[in-house]
Amino acid sequence: MIVATGKSILNGIAIGKIKIYKAPVYEINTGLIEDVDAEVARFNAAVAKAIDQQGVLYEKAKKDAGEESAAIFEAHQLMLEDDDLQDSAREIIIEQKRSAEYATKTAFDNYAQMFAEMDDPYMKARSADLLDVETDVLDFLMGNDTSSMQGTEPSILVAEDLAPSETVKLDKSLLLGMITREGSSNSHTAILARSMNLPSLIQCKEIDDSWDGKMAILDGYNSCVYIEPTDDLMKTLSAKHAEDVKKLALLQELKGKPSVTLDGTSVHVYANIGGPSDLGSVNENDAEGVGLFRSEFVYLNSKEEPTEEQQFTAYKRVVETLAPKLVIIRTCDIGADKTIDYMHLDKEENPALGFRAIRICLTRKDFFKKQLRALLRASAFGNMGIMFPMIISKWELMEAKALLEECKAELIKEGHKIGKYQLGIMIETPASVLVADDLAEEVDFFSLGTNDLTQYTCAIDRQNAKLERFSDTHHPAVLKAIQMTIEAGHRHNTWVGICGELGADPTLTETFLRMGIDELSVNAKSVLPLRKIIRSVDLSK
């Protein structure tokens, strides 16, 4: 038996044969070509097919992993549509008389290198995305068929690394788990694997081609893989796997039951969503509402600024479909790691601390009012909460509230019906924690964005893979900030929830309950496991 270790990105067990995936080797013709026009036509056709494929991958990822995870393929599509990138490749074909394959690899590699050398971690990460779409174009040019990468029977897929597009192309019915030599826990591929509920291991340096076809057990709980396990180990871990399957089935029995502790304390368990297409997972997992609708995906999924009517349609659909459940919609949180070309935002040395979220909205008030009007109109169709992100001062909150009232007066004058709504803010900086008493006087609820709260409290760039070792989501300072926020909110009858990744951490659920948290909003697939924990806790002890 061989035991290899790595880093688990999802607890779980997968049992089956290993399938080694080898990325295609591209043998590029470096010679001169005669028919330049024909090569340009081949390049154009391959790019067009690759762009169409991103749309197909987007729909598949949306179905398998949710709209937020699928957004990467919208970004890939925009990269392929970039005129400068396409012109660079065509120029190589025309001026250097090189093949479409040579021009694609050269132009895309050059652009990827340019991104890799940038200081901004977000832009640096786009280098891998460019190389991903490069392979798509090359596959169409060279007629490569990637459909056979998994073989014909369910297996544990092993690879050097997997790009997002490769991950989404996988047939889930043939995929038991994934192991890669490279990768990071914050990569798009890791996020997709978690969303698809696949036991996965990354940074497994002992991977060897001799594993191909051998029986193995991927043990996500202990961050290792056993190649040709002993009979005793197979028996033990098969029982553990069967227990996991049974637990999953038992979770379904929690549907329709309240999220109440043994001593009678009620806690709301809501879902985080990226758009209307995630509604199915909200109902499928019996979420009690939506604690975070990331409205920025309405902007990210559009090639130009969405109109008031387009936004109204998206918000109305979610609110109306889930009524009477509460749907909290966060206003536009663009900036930092979420950039949009049509916003024409300046490049910043430190975007995480820069022009983002409410700072953009209060500076571009016509832009902000378009969204506020759409939200207020949609409020007439269900139970809505409106939430402002990145508030650090009371004057920001008051200015945002004034704009909301201004839009409300305009709409009423125009004859629009406005429904009742709750108003809240994100608490995601040490500044907002320290002035939480002042802020609580002006809102109905707080929602703790623990991803950014951890980043800003610990001075750790969450986009920087090199800092994983130093990042501690359970840092005492972060937990103390959460406790302080809950206490401040409750002093002013303001309810407090958590909508960051920490809310789904089962090791902290009881801690948050004892702090007095009112609501947890998590990935839809975490709703029932959280409900199970909540129903097992006795806060009177």
Question: Does residue 425 contact residue 432 with C-beta atoms inside 8 Å?
Answer: yes
Which residue in 204, 332, 361, 499 is the catalytic one?
A: 499
Distance CA 65, CA 278 (A): 9
> Which of 112, 141, 124 is closest to 26 using CA atoms?
141
Question: Does residue 214 contact residue 53 with C-beta atoms inside 8 Å?
Answer: no
Amino acid at 200: S
> Which of 36, 27, 23, 47 is closest to 107 using CA atoms?
47
Residue 223 carries which DSSP code?
A: T
CB neighbour list of residue 341: distance below 8 Å, 6 or more residues apart: 78
The residue behind tokens 């139970």 is 383
Edge-to-edge strands, sheet with 215-219 = 2-5, 224-227, 215-219, 13-20, 155-159, 175-180, 200-202, 7-10
76: annotated active-site residue: no
365-381 per-residue burial string, b: 16 or more CB within 10 A, e: under 16: eeebbbbbbbbbbbbbb
Distance CA 338, CA 451 (A): 14
Instruction: Provide the token pair at 455.
Output: 């980043």
Tell me how crowded residue 75 is: count the other CB atoms within 10 A of its CB: 18
Angle at 43 between CA 41 and CA 46, to 5 degrees: 110
499: annotated active-site residue: yes
Question: Does residue 290 contact residue 327 with C-beta atoms inside 8 Å?
Answer: yes
Question: Does residue 108 contact residue 133 with C-beta atoms inside 8 Å?
Answer: yes
Which residue in 76, 188, 268, 361 is the catalytic one?
A: 188
Alpha helices, DSSP H, located in 323-393: 358-363, 365-378
Q: What is the DSSP string of 295-333?
A: THHHHHT-SSPPPHHHHHHHHHHHHHHHTTSEEEEEPP-
Tell me how crowded residue 65 is: count the other CB atoms within 10 A of its CB: 24
Distance CA 112, CA 434 (A): 42
Active site residues: 188, 499
